Structure 1
Amino acid sequence: MHTGMTVGEFSRATHLSIKTLRHYHDVGLLAPADVDQGTGYRYYSPDQVPTAQVIVRLRDLDMPVADVKAVLSAEDVGTRNELIAAHLARLEDRLAQAQSAVESLRDLLARPARGSHIEYRTVREQAAIGIREVVDRQDLAGWWQGALGELRGFTTARRLRPTGPMGGLFATGLVEDERGEALVFVPVDGAVRPVGRIGAVVVPGAELAVAVHRGTLQTIDLTYGDLGTHAARHEIGVDGPLREFYLRGPLDVTEDELVTEVGWPIFRANG
């Protein structure tokens, strides 16, 4: 005779459906205290109710089943708390990303229909120091931040005189194929001996349609959208790397104070 709780009773006590309890049994997350070998009926111990309640709350926080199992099997309180804290940190990151996405959407909906002011510019080739690498798009932001900091440190240490703002050239493959060449550079006077991944580069000249983006780079796609639309409508777009100039860059101001010139390559007969 079984003295435990039937699956139905345990379901009602824990607010976990019978289907969910069966799944948790199958994946080894919450096994019944006893299974009748003759009938296959599952019975749970009243002592398992608190465990089920913990599982409910962890799953409500979107913790994967494997991580929930790790929490339940932790050998000590410290290990358990570290696992939970790590998951909470991931949730906070996701929440921050969601809040940023909401703010970005609101900015888009409130954006004037006219979009960015666009001007044409001839950019001459420039001698510079730079860091060039083929990178995956998902790694670009981190690589870009690191490259800017490295160039700034090198320029300061060598007492080089910048002749223009920091900038970047980005191959179209970075967007189209999610992998491509990126170059971050600082125009400088004089010859520079390569050190590590920093070397002398010549930034090519180009004819550009240019628009200014102000604020976080999370919404810079709107400025790129204005430029691409303008180039398509006027049938002046040409193949070539996308270009950015950091008039007020992340090494100098907060994210909301960034000022970035974006250049889209174009054809101009009188350029």
Structure 2
Amino acid sequence: MGSTLAIGDFSRATHLSVKKLRHYHQIGLLEPADVDPETGYRHYATEQISAAQVIRRFRELDMPLDEIHAVLSAPDPQTRNALIADHLARMEAGLTRTQAAIAALRDLLEHPNTAAPIEHRRVEAAAAAAITEVIDIADALLWYQGALGELHALLAAQDIRPDGPPGATYSSELFADERGSATIFVPCQGQVRPMGRVVPLVVPAVELATITHTGPHNGIDRAYGALATYVSDHALAVDGPIREYYLVGPGDTPEETAWRTQIGWPVFATSATT
């Protein structure tokens, strides 16, 4: 072993506090080269400076300590690089979400009263292929994409053509409790044979007040707010799940600005239907 540094000097050399170095020792992430059995003083080998610098860089990237430990103890470069790549991918996804949230907030501040027109629509009962599950609201978008892909695959396998844009119904509990029932459906003509999660379903008729949101789903809450205000102001609300129709979605184009989602709030039947 080469020369060693007391913990204070090692702290200065690595820009890691003494408190952090002691914690890293306790959890086995960075153990000192020598611990005096009588005084408990820790000494670190100068060769450990590079490992400490790696740990510091990973912490700056918000990598959890257990993942850093896995990287440092990886049995080979391929495993180590895969662990690092996984973390970077999660960071990039988080950055994308942050950028989207910033853009949505900026748009809200610059255009606080912008809203699409609201219409009334009578939706007739329709036969469909459907998937219904209890989901967490945090998983709603991924669940919708996966379920919709499964529905289209089954219809193609059974040679049944869709008869209109796909839609979904979401229970009040999903919004209030962050967990509740959701149904994704694809209207179609023909006898759907149940398979896996897919079952035939008659989507019931309903009277809706509707608004169409254009763009990615992360800004859809503004359309929900405008629609809820309209329904409340006109005292039209009735019990029933929220309904969405995906007029243009990820399955049609990867261009998020082109997506169009029609949101329907169940209301009393009126004469002003469209």
Partner residue in 1 for 2:180: 180
Match in the other structure for 2:228: 228
TM-score w.r.t. the length of structure 2 is: 0.88
> Equivalents in 2 of 1:65, 1:26: separation in Å?
12
List alignment gaps of at least 5 residues for structure 2.
none
* 8 Å contact kept, 2:158–2:192: no
- What does residue 264 of structure 1 align with? 265
Give the C-alpha shift of residue 269 in structure 1: 5.8
User: For 1:165 and 1:266, how far apart are their aligned partners in 2?
Assistant: 22
Distance 1:119 1:32, change over 3 A: same
Instruction: Give, in whole Å, the separation in 1 of the partners of 2:17 and 2:154.
Output: 62
CA offsets per residue over residues 37-58 of structure 1, 9 Å max, x none? 2222222222221121111111
Q: Which residue of 2 aligns with 1:99?
A: 99
What is the CA distance between 1:116 and its match in structure 2? 2.7
RMSD, aligned CA: 2.2
Partner residue, 1:201? 201
**For this pair of structures, how many residues does the alignment match?**
269
Shift of 1:28: 1.7
Task: Please state whether the residue corresponding to 2:32 is helix, strand or coil.
Answer: coil
For 1:208, what is the secondary structure of its paired residue? strand
How is 1:144-155 mapped onto 2 (pairs within 5 angstroms)? 144-155=144-155
Whichever residue aligns with residue 92 of structure 2, its letter is E
- Name the SS for the 1:180 alignment partner: strand
Give me the whole-angstrom Cα distance separating, in 1, the residues matched to 2:114 and 2:86: 45
Mapped to 2, the partners of 1:137 and 1:62 lie a distance apart of 26
How far off is 1:264 after superposition? 0.7
**Matched letter for residue 17 of structure 2:** S
Structure 1 counterpart of 2:265, one-letter code:
W
| Deviation of the 1:157 alpha carbon | 4.4
Identical columns (%): 51
SS at 1:120's partner residue?
Answer: strand
- Given that 2:208 and 2:267 are in contact with CA atoms closer than 8 Å, whether structure 1 keeps it comes out as yes
Q: C-alpha offsets along residues 107-131 of structure 1, whole Å, 9 cap, x if unaligned?
A: 2223351423111222222222322
CA distances 1:156-186 after superposition (whole Å, capped 9, x unpaired): 4444454432211111122122222222222
**Is 1:76 aligned to residue 76 of structure 2?**
yes
| Deviation of the 1:246 alpha carbon | 1.8
Provide closer, same or farther for how the CA distance between residues 196 and 68 of structure 1 changes in structure 2, counting only shifts above 3 A.
closer
Structure 1 counterpart SS, 2:67: helix
Paired residue for 2:42? 42
Deviation at 1:190, TM superposition (A): 4.5
Gaps of 5+ in 1: none
Give the deviation of 1:212 after TM superposition.
0.7
Q: What amino acid sits opposite 2:241 in the alignment?
A: P
Secondary structure of residue in 2 paired with 1:97: helix
Counterpart of 1:122 in structure 2 is 122
Distance in 2, Cα, partners of 1:195 & 1:8: 65
Match of 1:136 in 2: 136
